[in-house]
Amino acid sequence: MRVILQNTKTLLYYQATEAWTPDPALAKDFVNMKIASYFVQGMKAGTVDIIMDLGAYTYNARLLSTMKKSVQTGSTNRLQS
C-alpha cells in the first residue's frame, strides 16, 4: 500500500516540491495517512486528496481533504462532501 496525493483540479499526483506527475507510480509515497494529512495541511497547492493506493485503481481509497480557511477565526475547517 502507498499513500499519495492528487490535485483534484489538475488530476496530477504530487511528486516533489513544485513537481507533479500524471503517473501515480511516480508519485511520492507518504507511507501513512497521518504524515500525508500533516503535509496537506501545510501546503498551498489548492484542493488535494489523499489516496491509499492499493495497487488496483478500483480498490483505492480516497480521503477528501478539501480545506477552507475560516475568515472570522483564521482556523482551518474540513469540508464535508
pLDDT at 66: 57
pLDDT (tens digit per residue) in 27-79: 999 999 999 988 988 876 568 999 998 887 778 888 776 554 434 444 444 44
Query: Phi then psi for 41, rounded to 5 degrees?
Result: -60, -30
Stated pTM of the model: 0.74
Domain that holds residue 49: 2-78
Structural domains in the chain (count): 1
pLDDT at 45: 57
